[in-house]
Structure 1
Amino acid sequence: MKIGYRTVKTAVGTGLSLAIAQWLGLQFYSSAAVITILCIKTTKKKSYQTAWERVLACVLGLVLAILVFELLGYHAWGLTILMLLLIPLCVKLKATDGITTATVVILHLYILKEVSLPIVINEGLLIVIGIGMAVLANMHMPSSEKKLKEIQQQIEANFKAILRELAAYLRDKDQQWDGKEITETAQLLKEAKALALRDIENVAPYDCAYYYRYFEMRERQFEILERIAPSVSSLDHCCQESLIVGEFLDRLAGAVHPGNTASHYLEELEQISRRFKESALPQTLEEFETRAAVYHFIGEMKRYLKIKRDLWIKQKQKEETKKNKFNWKKAGCL
């Protein structure tokens, strides 16, 4: 059995909410603990959003409960009418997460069968304690940077393996490869993007947005790798073009890392493309098909490298903008 950080926060926050509400002598003090459990979410952003929705729904629920119960009486059909009013209003105000909490407050009034200032204050304190403790518990969220870096390294290792396997296939078509890196990479990219997105809602948006953009870039590159695999398999491993392509893939595999090497390899691809254009025209159908597959491969690899180059350029521009903004602020101009 594994106890995670969120579980610990939920347990501690629930206990503290219950203890505070009980110490204050509030009626239905256990409801404060329930509200805390409902409000603790996976990210700060979701926690704050949920807190706001619950406060809004509870206030709305209290107002409607006072009006409906005092006018129509404390009856089950009165509660039915109240819910028919509350739920559409919460949906309209985009506070659907607060319907459950508001219902708890409404049922307290229904059980007590009266409305007074002390009762309203009691319910308000339950809401403040329950939601406030949840917000405090979610103030600290652990960064996933270490995990993101590990996934980044694993994805890059898989990219290297895929490129080298494709290069090996061009040199020797008898090479056996089960393609497990492709399946593994697809799953890692999905996990990494979800984790990076969660971190954006928790920690410094600028730092974590880099990882999200990075994994988006790798995802687009991965789609290209999946596309070029069939075209590589159609190349004749005995021809000069295939050997050149294989050598290029080997060199490219050694340069898979977060840094910017795309411009260098784009230039190398241009040189390879010019070299093929200057070579003799294909004489047979097989040579023609091989040449066509080579040009298709070069076009796809250009797209592969431009995706990485564009990310690096954007990242540099963002860093420069952030640096300039800091300098202007330091100089007292902002």
Structure 2
Amino acid sequence: MMKYFKDKTFKMAISATIAIIIADAFKLHFSVTAGIIAILSVQDTKKEALKVAGGRLIATTIAIVLSFALYIILGNNPVVFGIFLLIFIPITKSLQIGDGLVVGSVLSTHLLSSSNINLYWILNEEALTIIGISIAMIFNLYTDSLEDIFEKNKEEIEEKYRQILSDMSVTLVTHTVPIYEQKLFLSVEKLISESKIIAKKINDNYILKNNYYYLNYINMRTMQLDTIRRMKKHFLRFNMTYEQTGILSKFTEDVSKEIYENNDCTNLINKLDSLRKTYELMELPKTREEFENRALLFQFLNDLEEFLVIKKEFVESN
């Protein structure tokens, strides 16, 4: 049963129904409006719902008071309603409470259609607004557990990174590229993009605090993907295999096996430093072509180091 309370369509339908029933119980005029306000106030995240509710309450209060004053002074007719809009719309824009524009205008039409405008109408319209928003806020407390979806995506991202780096370790030696490489890159890009949206929603479901861990994780993986793309470009210019290539291939394979989330990469960075010192002790290149290829290997090594440092900084800051 609880899963239905997390479905947005279900929340809209039930909150609107309850809001109308309550408005009818208090014998409010235009009770259906409470249901419409409830529908408009159901949001995807708690923080978004709170922001919309606050803005809408301010906007509707301004609309009701402004309408009351204009209709009492100038009369309630379509021309005065137009004057109301000319004043009300700029106010909502300047206060950045545009979410309340439509609802505020609808409430104003209630006073426009009344033959006897008095204080009761202010109370009636405020009550409709409060009932609609309040019922929607109760249902907004029930949201999907996006953390579980994110964790699943995270594991899939890490597995794809593992595959990409493992393939790179082979390509270093064989100079061959897997036929599925492009498809693999596109799938991980899509997964990261989807996970970033989920991460933002998770953060927005924390009302009194922020939880930036999920966004930070996705940003870290995004930066690493940019580094991987640079590493991949080097393969377009590799055309020879050396002793250094075999050593770097083995190290790249080691990196692929340690992609998991909590690894701070300290050991791998230490290994990389040792690898760089080993290179320095090796015989210098004898030809221009060998020199250029060795330079590319060095650039690949530097990019791989950046890949590890990005992860290390993420673990240390979270």
Shift of 1:135: 1.0
Distance 1:250 1:237, change over 3 A: farther
Shift of 1:192: 0.8
Distance 1:311 1:183, change over 3 A: same
Please point out which of 52, 55, 67 is paired with 1:53. Answer: 55
- The count of residues paired between Structure 1 and Structure 2 equals 314
Q: Provide, for residues 266-302 of structure 1, a one-character-per-residue CA deviation record: whole Å limited to 9, x for no partner.
A: 1111111111111111111211111110111111111
Find out whether 1:295 has 2:298 as its counterpart.
yes
Contact 1:32 1:127 (C-alpha < 8 Å) held by counterparts: yes
The amino acid across from 1:192 in the alignment is S
Find out whether 1:278 has 2:281 as its counterpart.
yes
Shift of 1:261: 4.2
Please point out which of 213, 217, 229 is paired with 1:214. Answer: 217
Contact 1:262 1:306 (C-alpha < 8 Å) held by counterparts: yes
Distance 1:306 1:108, change over 3 A: same
Deviates more, 1:110-119 or 1:170-179: 170-179
Distance, in Å, in 1 between the alignment partners of 2:115 and 2:81 is 12
Contact 2:46 2:207 (C-alpha < 8 Å) held by counterparts: no
Distance, in Å, in 2 between the alignment partners of 1:193 and 1:237 is 39
Find out whether 1:94 has 2:96 as its counterpart.
yes
Contact 1:237 1:243 (C-alpha < 8 Å) held by counterparts: no
Partner of 1:196: 199
Distance, in Å, in 1 between the alignment partners of 2:91 and 2:139 is 29
Distance, in Å, in 2 between the alignment partners of 1:207 and 1:167 is 39
Please point out which of 63, 78, 81 is paired with 2:80. Answer: 78
For 1:33-182, what aligned pairs fall within 5 Å after superposition? 33-179=35-181, 180-182=183-185
TM-score, with length taken from structure 1:
0.89
TM-score, with length taken from structure 2:
0.94
Distance, in Å, in 1 between the alignment partners of 2:168 and 2:47 is 43
Partner of 2:250: 247
Distance, in Å, in 1 between the alignment partners of 2:51 and 2:210 is 22
Partner of 2:25: 23
Partner of 2:232: 229
Distance, in Å, in 2 between the alignment partners of 1:248 and 1:117 is 78
Q: Give SS of 2:255's match.
A: helix
The amino acid across from 1:242 in the alignment is T
Distance, in Å, in 1 between the alignment partners of 2:118 and 2:188 is 61
RMSD of aligned Cα (Å): 1.8
Deviates more, 1:138-147 or 1:42-51: 138-147
Q: Give SS of 1:25's match.
A: coil
Unaligned runs of 5+ in 1: 316-334
Distance, in Å, in 1 between the alignment partners of 2:47 and 2:304 is 39
Distance 1:113 1:285, change over 3 A: farther
Contact 1:50 1:97 (C-alpha < 8 Å) held by counterparts: yes
Distance, in Å, in 2 between the alignment partners of 1:110 and 1:266 is 72
Shift of 1:213: 0.9
The amino acid across from 2:13 in the alignment is A
Larger RCO (CA under 8 A, 6+ residues apart): 2
Shift of 1:113: 3.6
